[in-house]
Copies of this chain bind each other. A is one copy, B any other.
Amino acid sequence: MSEELSELARRRGFFFQANEAYGGVAGFYTYGPEGAALKRNVEDAWRDRFVTREGNMEIDSPTVTPEPVFRASGHLDDFDDMLVECPDCGESHRADHVVEDNTDVEDAESVPTDEVEALIAEHDLVCPECGVSLVGQPVEGFNLMFETTIGPGDGDPGYLRPETAQGMFTEFPRLKEYARNQLPFGVAQIGAGYRNEISPRNALLRTREFTMAELEFFVDPEDDGPNLDRVADVELPLYPVEAQQADGEEYLRLTPQEALAEGVVAGEWVAYFLARSKQWFERVGVDMDRFRFRQHLPGELAHYASDCWDAEGEVGGDWVELEGVASRTNYDLTKHDEHADDSFTVFQAYDEPKTVERATVDPEMSYLGPEFGGDAGEVADALADLAARDRSAFDGEEVTVEVDGTEYTVPTEQTGFEVAEETESGRHIVPHVVEPAFGVGRAVYTALAHSYETDEVDGESRDVLRLPAEVAPTTVGVFPLMDKDGLGERARELAADLREAGLSVTYDDSGNIGRRYRRQDEVGTPYCVTVDYEALEEGAVTVRDRDTTEQTRVPVEDLPTVLTRLRDGDASFEEL
């Protein structure tokens, strides 16, 4: 983000470092009035797209989370960054960043810590802060979760959630009831996440507290996928593994159906959400000429994920991760099913009950007991397992099973082996998860960067945010030509009427009209309405378009409808 835009963000109240009056702490930002409104509009557009229109559910779960949840999810063990501390100045650095910034090694994050230590030694790397050598300093994992204590005394350890997703996973036993046990269904959440970054940087791009919008979409992998006709005309700019490995910068431009047919994207739901994501990013102001979906490289892929694509936006020459669409298999729910005291499976009824053959045993314990003594029970269990697994093992006269390394042979006739037909009405499955996970602050930041322009109007330079009308903090600025002769009263009345119609309105009567236009251009207000003397006489006002600076006259009584249609994209300014 350019220095000009950062300055504008502070000066006009989009965002700024929090608590600067106390020196601030890196990685925490406050959204001022304009930024908070923009962020809320971006969130509302997300909710409209990924909750309401998809018929998904939305929940609101706490950020402080007890330890057993993160033991099950793996975050307690694995949610680490590599830390190296300077022996001289004591500053902590991300060891992988030190390596990446000073060697040819890419993706040092996936290199084991001892090899990173070796790379530091090999390249004789130094502290980026003070220049003292880091050779010989230990490189260690640092868990990125903020820890706290719940309750007085020793209390219970708790962590600020690093993602909203676990809320949807741990409450799955209830959520499936709300979905009446019908797969597929989706559960979403927009809320705070926290990562105790070692070196926060790049304003809203790597903060320690941030807002996420995540959808956990639960599917039966054997079920039909989505109706891809609904996104048939969306062209996805895809940057798959092969292209990255070939160092190509050309993207494939494929529809979801083409991407599936060509095997570029493996899963139908992933392809569907890539298309919906692209539509959404365009809607909130990300420039589609500076946007792509990059597939995770094999080393980058989380161990549970079978495929993952990052939506990326280009800002200041760097590609910024805006969203990950991951096929998480049934990893999450399986982990919770193992650790928690509840069921994370869904009963999937067959369309028709199925008749299945099932092999069972009913061993003669009066034979097994005397023969195998205290091991008889385990031998019986092993026979049952074997029957379910490989019924051909019971074809001969004898069957051999292994218990704790010892082999036991049993005459087949003593096993009570039998194959019987049974009727099954369905099966219990652990659903698979497809997860589109968005960083809201990053989307806001990228939309600002992509919509910021400096152009020339009436021979003067102006700063303008060409934000889409739907997400702009203010939809319409209302100005009296001057605050006299009843113009001010009329303009204030009009502002109140427009607010009543559900529009976001700013009233401004200070300074000359040109200056007031500039103020609104700077914060991205798409339309301005001026109440002049003709307005009092004729009942029509001047509406001015931010992007073209064109003006047109609109009857006052039509104004709420016209502005609402403009905001919602149901009309364009040129058509007025």
Q: Does A296 contact B (CB under 8 A)?
A: no
Contact count band on A = 35 or more
Q: Does A350 contact B (CB under 8 A)?
A: no
Among A14-22, A117-125, A301-309, the stretch in contact with B = A14-22
Among A27-35, A241-249, A412-420, the stretch in contact with B = A27-35
Identify whether the interface residues of A are mostly helix, strand, loop, or mixed.
Answer: mixed
Interface residues of A in 26-66 (CB under 8 A from B): 26-33, 35-37, 39, 52-53, 57-66
Given the contacts A35-B60, A58-B33, A59-B33, A19 and B152 also touching, CB distance less than 8 Å: no
Q: Does A431 contact B (CB under 8 A)?
A: no
A52 contacts across to B, CB distance below 8 A:
499, 504
Given the contacts A92-B153, A208-B64, A36 and B59 also touching, CB distance less than 8 Å: yes
A39 contacts across to B, CB distance below 8 A:
60
Q: Mark A180-202, 1 if CB is under 8 A from B, else 0.
A: 10000001000010101010000
Q: Mark A232-252, 1 if CB is under 8 A from B, else 0.
A: 000000000000000000000
With A and B bound together, what is the CA distance between A68 and B25 in angstroms? 11
| Count of identical protomers in the assembly | 2
Interface residues of A in 65-85 (CB under 8 A from B): 65-66, 68-69, 72, 83, 85
Q: Does A149 contact B (CB under 8 A)?
A: yes
Q: Does A288 contact B (CB under 8 A)?
A: no
A63 adjacent to B22 (CB under 8 Å): no
Closest chain B CB from A230 CB (angstroms): 12
Question: Which A residues form the contact surface with B (CB < 8 A)?
Answer: 10-13, 16, 18-33, 35-37, 39, 52-53, 57-66, 68-69, 72, 83, 85, 90, 92, 142, 146-153, 156, 158, 160, 167, 170-171, 173-175, 177-178, 180, 187, 192, 194, 196, 198, 208-209, 336, 339-342, 499, 504, 510
The 13 listed contacts between A and B (C-beta, < 8 Å) are A19-B69, A21-B342, A22-B341, A29-B62, A30-B61, A31-B60, A32-B171, A32-B178, A39-B60, A63-B209, A147-B148, A150-B196, A192-B192
